[in-house]
Amino acid sequence: MSSHEVTLFIDGKEIQANKDVTVLEAAEENGIYIPRLCWLKGLSPFGACRVCLVRANGRPQPACTQRVMDGMVVDNDTEELRGIRRNIIDMIFVEGNHFCMFCEKSGNCELQAMAYRHGITAPKYPFLFPQKAVDASHPDVLIDRNRCILCSRCVRASKEQDGKGVFGFTGRSIDKRLAVSSGEGLAGTTLDVDDEAVSACPVGCLMKKRVGYAIPVGERRYDQEPIGSDIESVAANKGGE
């Protein structure tokens, strides 16, 4: 173990990690999947969806922002945290209008896949049926805010990777909505269909036009294997070394 490494324990498993990484990254490198939605590799962590909540030395913290510390004891896959994650996923469903059977993202959608991974078939909370606007003004990209989970991945990708600032948020609390940098809708912005911001969207809110259904439903990414399997298969491989 080199001097810049620390030792921590995730659900009792001892792992080593560079001292500058977060719990989420350390786990991932060691084949442990911590569920997450607003985190995306390459973007600054945001800590907003709260799906990656773990207990770090007993304190509830998002794994995506919590730095590792030597000797840290992390709870990840516990009854309590699974329950909290299920509740949060349920909340995300009922604050939007998600009709997966009619959604082009189905099968490639991280929210839907997260629900399946957590054994959710229908949310236990009442649907809030909010009014959320669709914006089809842009020639190549559609916004369907009914499916937006306010994760800010597009906001950060546009600022940090595309150098633009096309997206943001308006309002607060339950009235928070995705905003675009123009009074004339997405068409009034500098967004390009190839921007990182578009592909950063984990759900069916930012959709490229005219490329739908290229892969049939049933053969898509999360139709094949549960979300997180790629990370966990690293562990299986490592175990076989």
Partner 1 sequence: MCVSNEAAVREVCERFDHDRTRLLDVVREVDERLRCVDDRSMDAIARELKVPRADVEGVVSFYSFLSTKDKGEITIRVCNDVVDRMKGGDEVAAAFEQALGVPFGGGVGRGSAGAGKGGVDGGDIEGGVSLEYTSCIGMCDQAPAALVNDVVVTRLTPSAARTIVRKLKDRSGSEDLRTLLADSFGDGNNSHDLVRSMVENSIRRAGEVVLAPYESDAGLTNAFSSSPQEVIRVIKASRLRGRGGAGFPAGVKWEHTRAAAGDQKYIICNADEGEPGTFKDRVILTERAHLMFDGMTIAGYAIGATQGIVYLRAEYAYLRHFLDDVLAARRRDGRLGSGLADGFSFDIQIRMGAGAYVCGEETALIESLEGKRGQPRFKPPFPAVKGYLGKPTCVNNVETFCCVARIFEKGSAWFSSIGSAGSSGTKVLSISGDCHRPGIYEVPFGVSLRDVLALCGATDVAAVQVGGPSGRMVPPADFDRTLCYDDLATGGALIVFNQGRDLIDIASQYLGFFIHESCGYCTPCRVGNTLLKERIDRIRDGHGHPSDLDYLKELSSTITTASRCGLGWTSPNPVTSLITGFPELLEQRIPLDPSNNGTGFDLETSLRKAGQDSGLPSYEMEV
Mention every residue, 6+ apart, whose C-beta is less than 8 A from residue 211: none
| Binds 99: which of ligand SF4, partner 1, none (CB < 5-8 Å by kind) | ligand SF4
Mention every residue, 6+ apart, whose C-beta is less than 8 A from residue 39: 24, 45, 46, 52, 64
Token pair for 77 = 């896959």
Q: Give yes or no for residue 161 binding partner 1 (CB under 8 A).
A: no
Specify the residue, 19 or 176, whose C-beta has the smaller distance to partner 1.
176
Specify the residue, 91 or 234, whose C-beta has the smaller distance to ligand SF4.
91
Are residues 38 and 46 in contact, defined by beta-carbon separation less than 8 angstroms? yes
Q: Give yes or no for residue 97 binding partner 1 (CB under 8 A).
A: no
Mention every residue, 6+ apart, whose C-beta is less than 8 A from residue 46: 38, 39, 64, 151, 152, 156
| Binds 201: which of ligand SF4, partner 1, none (CB < 5-8 Å by kind) | ligand SF4
Q: Give yes or no for residue 147 binding ligand SF4 (CB under 6 A).
A: yes
Closest distance to partner 1 from the beta carbon of 47 (Å): 6
Closest of 34, 10, 9, 29 to residue 18, by C-alpha: 29
Closest of 124, 162, 142, 185 to residue 42, by C-alpha: 162
Among 9, 18, 99, 176, binds partner 1 (CB under 8 A): 176
Closest distance to ligand SF4 from the beta carbon of 45 (Å): 14
Span from 20-28, 57-65, 100-108, 214-222 in contact with ligand SF4 (CB under 6 A): 100-108
Specify the residue, 30 or 49, whose C-beta has the smaller distance to partner 1.
49
Among 8, 92, 191, 206, binds partner 1 (CB under 8 A): 92
Mention every residue, 6+ apart, whose C-beta is less than 8 A from residue 124: 90
Among 71, 83, 139, 212, binds partner 1 (CB under 8 A): 83
Classify residue 132 as exposed, middle or buried by CB count within 10 Å of its CB (0-12, 13-18, 19+): middle
Pairing state of beta strands 73-75 and 59-62? unpaired
Q: Under the rule (CB under 8 A), what is the footprint of partner 1?
A: 47-51, 53, 60, 65, 83-84, 87-88, 91-92, 94-95, 125-126, 128, 150, 155, 159, 164-176, 179-183
